[in-house]
Amino acid sequence: GLKSNILNGRLEKLFTDIWDELGHQYQDPIKVAIQPPGGSTDFADVTHVVPGIHPMIGITRDEIPMHSVQFAERTMTPGGDDGLMVGIKSMALATVMILTDPELLAEIKAEFEEKRLK
């Protein structure tokens, strides 16, 4: 589809807080994705059905474009392994927090519904 992401600030804040705890710098996924060659995804369509975010996990401090040979090479380094672990831990922690905190879940859902209906 050609839909734009429905951003969920509450869900994104949850991830930025988790990444801060893990010592990983959160970068705005919109700014990262527009760097050439940015690639594309149908994830925006998903955000019209359920709340979602599209975090970008850094694996190197070098300025290299995503979807490139250089980026692929970096995935096979200790930085790539570290990025993978940040992703795994972030998703697990966020899932536990959302499923065990009804207020947090309600905030995420409320923001989604408010933005989806606009």
Residue ranges covered by each domain of the chain: 9-116
Is pLDDT at 20 greater than 60 in this prediction?
yes
Mean per-residue pLDDT for 47-74? 87
- Please give the model's pTM, rounded to 2 decimal places: 0.80
Q: CA 84 to CA 100: how far, in whole Å?
A: 24
Over residues 39-59, the mean pLDDT reads 83
Backbone angles phi, psi at 76, to 5 degrees: -100, 30
Residue 46: exposure state from Cβ atoms within 10 A (0-12, 13-18, ≥19): middle
Which tens digits make up the pLDDT trace of 71-115? 899 999 999 999 899 999 999 999 999 999 999 999 999 999 999
